[in-house]
Chains A and B, each alone.
Chain A
Amino acid sequence: MGFPHPPHPRETQVLSRWFGDAEARTYAGWIKRGGYAALEQALGMTREQVIEEVKTSGLRGRGGAGFPAGVKWSFMPRQKTKAHYLCCNADESEPGTFKDREIMRWTPHQLLEGCAIAAYAIQAEQVFLYIRGEFTEPLRIMQAALDEAYARGVLGANAMGKGVRIDITIHRGAGAYICGEETALMNSIEGKRGNPRIRPPFPAAVGVFGCPTTINNVETLSSVPHIIARGGAWYKGLSLSSPKSTGTKLFSICGTVARPGNYEVTMGFPLKELLLDLAGGMRPGRTLKAVIPGGSSVPILTAEEAMDTLLDYEGCVAKGTMLGSGGMIVLDDSVDMVYQVMRLARFYAHESCAQCTQCREGTAWTVKILQRILGGEGRPADLDVLLDLSEQMTGRTICVLSDSCAAPVVSAIRKFRPEFERYLGHGKAAARA
């Protein structure tokens, strides 16, 4: 459903089917809805079969990078020489994205089940569920579900009575966007500053606590029980456009839109219909100006570009942007692009871990230039300086936080240049008029 709004007939509800249904949060309620059958089924399969099924499904990472989940799992060593770990990334912090929160709030057992299946597949006995510190309600709900799952023998030394050890530990974050980056997340679990790590080595070789590790997003793992239960082929069939983008995707729609919420549609769904039909279009009297389709880190689409964008990995790339996390920020004609781009840059400057020079200094400098422009004291050269800084902040650093700051800045200047120019050379008074 387009939670918190009633479900829309054009949604394909897989993950979100029980959103809003408090009973589904309990173990009994989850069992009643067919829960944990997939886990039982998976534990009866070989690990290779589970990985093969997920490979078949074409499931790709829902956290933003879109890497095929089954392939990622297959990178884990076959011969286990030390502990393997699974980390579930529930650090949902990408502006515009709030889907994992709803999965955890309404269907905690769905996530636990996915974690357990994945842990089995990659020979991990321990799962760290990294939930951002601000998510107090999801933390409470997940902990309650986890306690129940242990009490019912779903988890522990003899998970589901199948002789397999699967432990899940909730690790609470403490306020750092960058911990959603998988190597930073591992450092945070290890009790370090959440600095992204240089790769190689990759997590499947040297991950958390120096052991082979797989990191998957909440939505990715929550999709797994459905793939096991209904088959990889079924999941693969859920595709409206590119065969490389399969299954359903939760889109978080927010900003100046009539019905913000989470909408689950099949991959390849037209952005236009999602926005105008499902999410109710613009607020009364307003027109669409721009859409940031994949969380704030991706290039901005103009209204025109958005209207013929297909929502899958390839469809977004075709429009020069990315599907990212599926957090869709809708901006109408009342929005001051320059100010909002400054706010986004401020976000990244606030969240930069301080390792890489370009990011540490570049994000803060970007904010200063944008603030000066907003203050009516911008120089004609400022836009070129911004573009030049952004170029040097892209593809130059350990992680992509720096790129993420540059993407909205560059696309906004390219696509909405007149809005920036209006601030230039018109003095302070005119600036905020």
Chain B
Amino acid sequence: MSDLVKLTIEGHEVEAPAGTSILEAAKLVGILIPHYCYHPALPVAGSCRMCLVEVEKSPKPQPACATPITPGMVVRVASDVARAARRAVLEFLLINHPLDCPICDQAGECELQDYTHEEGRAAGRYADYPKRYNPVEDFGPDVLYVPNRCILCTRCVRFMENVAQEPTLNVSERGDRARIGVFPGAALDHPWAGNVVDLCPVGSLLSKDFLNKARVWDLDKTASVCGGCTQGCNITLETRDNAVVRVKPRPNMAVNRWFICDEGRLGYAWLNRADRIEAPLVREGGRLVPVEWEVALARAAELVGAGDGPAVGLVSPGASCEALEAAARVLAARGEGSAGAFRVRQGPERPLAGVPDLALRAERAPNVAGALAAGFGRDWDAAVARARAAGLVLVLDESLAGLAEPVTDGALLYIGTVLPETARGAVVILPCTNVAEEEGSFVNLRGLRQRYAQARTPPGMARPAAWILDAILAALPARAARAGGRA
């Protein structure tokens, strides 16, 4: 238990634990003291000097990020002295910063732009001198460095040194010649390197993937959960005209702090796939024919209710808890002996060294725990073997990649976003939404169930898998439906 310290910030009484900085204490009363180098995830540098505040009885303005609160302290953020100090820092930062906001990806979410608008000088006094110039550098797989825009806050350097714990970035040279550097021939290719782009308060570190793609004020932002692995990092899906164009981390201290890995950040293209199943399809006379949902659901219920032996479920651990639970109910409704399994794509585990319990996990799917909780097993090979002779195989958004064709001699009920070759023999094919197109939840590897929201409109007639499966259940004859309901 740390002692609480009482102080006054901008006229507000604040109480915070001893050792808290003025900057963090001010947040408690809703005051965001402007800053650049400070970031709660990084060691305090205290160097941008943007957060200078006036502290009563202190002869000089103090950096709010590096000054611990003391009892009775009186802090002024909007006083003339503090404002003048900030205005000066802004002017100093802008003397070498190009005024190229119209072509800068950061414009609209740039802290230099924002604070300059808020309290910078109307015009700089440096106008006649040439600005410092250094060419754009390719730092690594997804990161470009635009040195002319750099304000040397060193957040990126500290992230690589203290959080990634692989110092591949440095401050090179000194004085106004200083810039961020990499070693010749080396690349910023750490699996979490992309976070430096988020940490950069200006448009100096850019994502190549997002380069010139959209103005940020045109983006719609939706809270979501990353589908890349079992970590369950909280993300924001950013869409423009119904297409996901960028993924950003959404801070969650319990899961991913402020970060996401590059796989999660860049692996969103599939959310925008154009080759989607857009209408329910049913087999009629050897051909797959698009039909209304009612017709398709009736056919699906017919298959489930046929009662010709246990069904096998082949499900994806990328499906929502709601979908997986509904799938389990459908299998239960089918009757005794019906069961399902899932498989998980594996990859190397990539921890973020400086953050406990945060890694790109080896299991590259978001809802392994959810699938297990819904009653699906990891006995994939056995399930595939059983599927061959089963009367009904229910597939929930599984690619079926690598499986022999046909998957089953019985009936195949396929619910998915896209139609793999292996599933073309299905009797009923039902188009479902992907994670960006529905609401749902995943359970991460620590058992935390997290909701995600809908970011884009589904294509064609696609519906959330949970809705589809519940609708099938509802269309079943009464006795079977009750059995499913008890599952």
Contact = CB atoms under 8 A, between A and B. Distances in A.
B61 interface: yes
A397 B176 contact: no
A35 B243 CA distance: 82
Contacts of A360: 92, 152, 175-176, 178
Interface stretch (A24-32, A224-232, A350-358, A420-428): A350-358
B151 interface: yes
Contact of B88 (A349, A354, A372, A392): A392
Interface in B103-138: 125-126, 128-129
A353 B59 CA distance: 24
Interface residues of A, number: 30
B95 A357 contact: no
B174 A357 contact: no
A198 B48 CA distance: 12
A424 to B, nearest CB: 15
Interface residues of B, number: 35
B49 A357 contact: yes
Interface in A369-428: 372, 381, 385, 389, 392, 395-398
Interface in A271-328: none
A176 B173 CA distance: 11
B56 to A, nearest CB: 16
B175 A396 contact: no
A361 B95 contact: yes
Nearest to B50: A357
Nearest to B126: A365
B176 A352 contact: yes
Interface stretch (B39-47, B225-233, B320-328, B438-446): B39-47
Given A352-B175, A360-B178, A396 B60 contact: yes
Contacts of A372: 128-129
A376 to B, nearest CB: 14
B63 interface: yes
B233 to A, nearest CB: 32
A198 B60 contact: no
Nearest to A178: B174
A180 interface: no
Interface string B134-167: 0000000000000000011000000000000000
A396 B96 contact: no
Given A198-B66, A396-B49, A361 B129 contact: no
A392 B44 CA distance: 22
A368 B46 contact: no
- DSSP class of B's interface residues: helix, strand, loop or mixed? loop
Given A392-B85, A398-B46, A361 B176 contact: yes
Interface string B80-101: 0000110011001101100000
Contacts of B44: 198
Interface in A232-284: none
A358 B178 contact: no
B152 A397 contact: no
Given A198-B44, A198-B46, A351-B175, A357 B60 contact: no
A354 B63 contact: no
Contact of B61 (A176, A357, A395): A395
Contacts of A355: 45, 47, 152
B171 interface: yes
A358 B177 CA distance: 14
Contacts of B47: 355-357, 398
Interface in B21-51: 44-50
B95 to A, nearest CB: 6
Contacts of B383: none
A96 interface: no
Contacts of B49: 356-358, 396-397
B61 A354 contact: no
B85 A396 contact: yes
A354 B50 contact: no
Nearest to B89: A357
A352 B60 CA distance: 21
A354 B59 contact: no
Interface string B45-81: 1111110100000011101001010000000000000
A41 B177 CA distance: 51
A364 interface: yes
Contacts of B52: 396
Nearest to B84: A392
A81 B389 CA distance: 73
Contact of B96 (A198, A354, A361, A398): A361
Contact of B95 (A352, A365, A381, A398): A365
Contacts of A354: 152, 171, 173-178
Interface in A330-360: 349-358, 360
Contacts of A381: 125
B93 A395 contact: no
Given A198-B66, A396-B52, A361 B46 contact: no
A385 B123 CA distance: 13
Contacts of A364: 175-176
Interface centre among A198, A357, A358, A396 (most CB of B within 10 A): A357
7 contacts: A354-B173, A354-B178, A357-B151, A361-B176, A392-B92, A396-B61, A398-B47
| A-B complex: 9 closest residue pairs judged by Cβ atoms | A354-B178, A392-B88, A364-B176, A361-B92, A355-B47, A395-B60, A198-B46, A352-B175, A354-B174
Given A357-B92, A360-B176, A397-B49, 12 more contacts: A193-B171, A198-B45, A352-B174, A354-B175, A355-B45, A355-B47, A355-B152, A358-B92, A360-B178, A372-B128, A372-B129, A385-B125
Interface of A: 176, 193, 198, 200, 349-358, 360-365, 368, 372, 381, 385, 389, 392, 395-398
